[in-house]
Amino acid sequence: MEAPELDPSVLGELREVVGADHVITDDRRTSYEVDWTGRFLGATPAVVRPAHTAQVAAVLDVCRRHAIAVVPQGGNTGMVGGSVPLSGELVLSLRRIDRVGEVDHAAKQITVGAGATMESLQQAAAAAGLRYAVDFGSRGSATVGGSIATNAGGVNVLRYGGTREQLLGVEAVLGSGLVVSRLGGLVKDNTGLHLPSLLCGSEGTLGVITAARVRLVTAHPHTVTALVGFDSVAAAIDAVAAWRSSIDVLDAAEIMLNDGVLLVSRAFGYPLPFEEPCVAYLLVEASAHDDPTDLLAMAVADATGVLDVAVARDSRRRGLLWRAREEHTAAINTIGVPHKFDVTLPLAGLAEFMAVVPSVVREVEPAAATWLFGHVGDGNIHVNVTGIAPDAAGLDEHVYRYVVACGGSISAEHGIGTAKARWLSLNRSPDEMAAMRAIKHALDPVGILNPHVLFD
């Protein structure tokens, strides 16, 4: 795809705002034009990198006046084709706005620039003896602004909720040019509509987030991680259902299947956890003031279908257990460009869903391989399909209709992006769609922000 040319005078205006060094029109655009999976490849006339909120506002002003569509981009680790210029949009990169503020110990809060990586936020919290609760495998590249725009979930939703639950305030430039800023961090502040909640999960369609105030949680002195092997998926899911109520200090519960663990082992030389393979594996983590190891051990002892267990308390060995899970995404990418479904199902129907969905996929793509893993504690399963054409629209419809028929959501944590815009109406009513379009139009009347995201 050829990127459309921008009028030299417009380029001139943009250079005036951010400086010539921060308007990229040469080959350096490439990494901004393709997504992490390699499935979504676009082309942009220019990548513009503002240094602060006022420059973001001025860039959007230029774009509004010349009706230039814009894709806001953070770490470009998104999974739904929302962060790349698939229709020749200008890319607005937020990575320069990466200041990490001082930790407010009294309030257990911090203010960070939208371009700061999740990891830098987590490190600032840890250095202050606290913790930022949202965590996931792309932490080294994903940005705070991108995590808010996607309402990212990750591995600790089970205990702390997702990004929206951590969000106390944002600073953002709306598509209309309005600049909203509320970073005071008052926990009780019922002064009208809660714009941070609205912008969280809006996927760059309503405004460009430039800063955020987030809450931090206690970093507990004791953390234990266990990998538990089961003789069936159903037994693993029953165990999670029980542990969610019996272990109130449970941070994470992740599921993997044997083929995924084998794939990670083959792809990255990861040592297989147990002598004998298991059908399903649960990776669970608990943290507390008092060592939760015994609590976890009792819960595992009460579970049925357990074949093997590995427990770790020191961070090196805990990291090793987490590798099996965290490297699924990269291992699957070594096979080819995956077709990714990120769905939520009611826990009661999850075992059946996991048993049936591979055959649902094969009804449309007989030669496909299906890889299942995910945040089982939240009912969130990642269904990755390989061995098919990247844009298998027939497969999307077939799988999403099955998910909806099972009472599920077609997007658990990755968002809708461009990949699922066509199917959003399967999960949202015509009135909900109309209400969302009305909000979009009100906050971005010219329609410059991510015009192909969310709405088909």
Binding site for ligand FAD (CB under 6 A): 36, 71-79, 82-83, 94, 114, 136-138, 142-143, 145-147, 149-150, 152-154, 203-204, 208-209, 329, 413-414, 417, 450, 453
Phi, psi of 408 (to 5 degrees): -105, 180
- Tell me how far apart the 2 most distant CA atoms of the chain are, in Å: 70
CB of 11 to ligand MLT, least distance (A): 36
Long-range contacts of 423-430 (CB under 8 A, 24+ apart): 423/396, 423/397, 424/454, 424/455, 424/456, 426/400, 426/401
- Here the tokens at position 4 are 């459309």
- Burial-class residue 153 by CB neighbours within 10 Å (0-12, 13-18, 19+): buried
Cβ neighbours around 146 below 10 Å, total: 30
137 binds ligand MLT (CB under 6 A): yes
What residues have CB less than 8 Å from 442, skipping those under 6 apart?
Answer: 176
Q: What whole-number distance in Å separates Cα of residue 244 and Cα of residue 233?
A: 17
Task: Look at residue 147 and give the partner it binds from ligand FAD, ligand MLT, none, a contact being a CB closer than 5 to 8 Å depending on partner kind.
Answer: ligand FAD
Q: How far is CA 27 from CA 1, 31, 37, 42, 46, in A?
A: 14, 9, 20, 13, 10
95 binds ligand MLT (CB under 6 A): no
- Burial-class residue 258 by CB neighbours within 10 Å (0-12, 13-18, 19+): middle
- Burial-class residue 406 by CB neighbours within 10 Å (0-12, 13-18, 19+): middle
Task: Look at residue 382 and give the partner it binds from ligand MLT, ligand FAD, none, a contact being a CB closer than 5 to 8 Å depending on partner kind.
Answer: ligand MLT
Task: Look at residue 75 and give the partner it binds from ligand FAD, ligand MLT, none, a contact being a CB closer than 5 to 8 Å depending on partner kind.
Answer: ligand FAD
Bridge-partner residues for 208, per DSSP?
173
Bridge-partner residues for 255, per DSSP?
282, 374
Of 142 and 228, nearer to ligand FAD (C-beta) is 142
The residue with its CB nearest to ligand FAD is 146
Per-residue x/- track, 357-396, ligand MLT (CB under 6 A): -----------------x-------x--------------
Of 216 and 421, nearer to ligand FAD (C-beta) is 421
347, 238 in Cβ contact below 8 A? no
CB of 444 to ligand FAD, least distance (A): 11
Identify the sign of the CA torsion 285, 227, 151, 89: positive
Q: What whole-number distance in Å separates Cα of residue 254 and Cα of residue 321?
A: 11
Phi, psi of 166 (to 5 degrees): -100, -10
Of 60 and 249, nearer to ligand FAD (C-beta) is 60
Convert 58-97 to b/e letters by CB count within 10 Å (16 or more is b).
Answer: bbbebbbebebbbbbbbbbbbbbbbbbbbbbbbbbbbbeb
CB of 391 to ligand MLT, least distance (A): 18
- Number of chain residues interacting with ligand MLT (CB under 6 A): 9
Task: Look at residue 93 and give the partner it binds from ligand FAD, ligand MLT, none, a contact being a CB closer than 5 to 8 Å depending on partner kind.
Answer: none
Task: Look at residue 142 and give the partner it binds from ligand MLT, ligand FAD, none, a contact being a CB closer than 5 to 8 Å depending on partner kind.
Answer: ligand FAD
Task: Look at residue 444 and give the partner it binds from ligand FAD, ligand MLT, none, a contact being a CB closer than 5 to 8 Å depending on partner kind.
Answer: none
Of 94 and 303, nearer to ligand FAD (C-beta) is 94
CB of 188 to ligand FAD, least distance (A): 26
Task: Look at residue 94 and give the partner it binds from ligand MLT, ligand FAD, none, a contact being a CB closer than 5 to 8 Å depending on partner kind.
Answer: ligand FAD
CB of 365 to ligand MLT, least distance (A): 19
CB of 343 to ligand MLT, least distance (A): 10
CB of 384 to ligand MLT, least distance (A): 6
Measured in residues, the chain has a length of 456
CB of 179 to ligand MLT, least distance (A): 32
The residue among 404, 341, 407 whose CA lies nearest residue 373 is: 341
39 binds ligand MLT (CB under 6 A): no
Of 209 and 403, nearer to ligand FAD (C-beta) is 209
Q: Kindly identify the residues of this chain, within the stretch 309-348, that bind ligand MLT according to CB under 6 A.
A: 328-329, 340, 342
Of 146 and 338, nearer to ligand FAD (C-beta) is 146
Task: Look at residue 208 and give the partner it binds from ligand FAD, ligand MLT, none, a contact being a CB closer than 5 to 8 Å depending on partner kind.
Answer: ligand FAD
| Helices and strands counted in the chain (H then E) | 16, 17
Say which amino acid occupies 83.
S
CB of 350 to ligand MLT, least distance (A): 16
Q: Kindly identify the residues of this chain, within the stretch 51-80, that bind ligand MLT according to CB under 6 A.
A: 79
Which spans of this chain sit near ligand MLT (rule: CB under 6 A)? 79, 136-137, 328-329, 340, 342, 374, 382
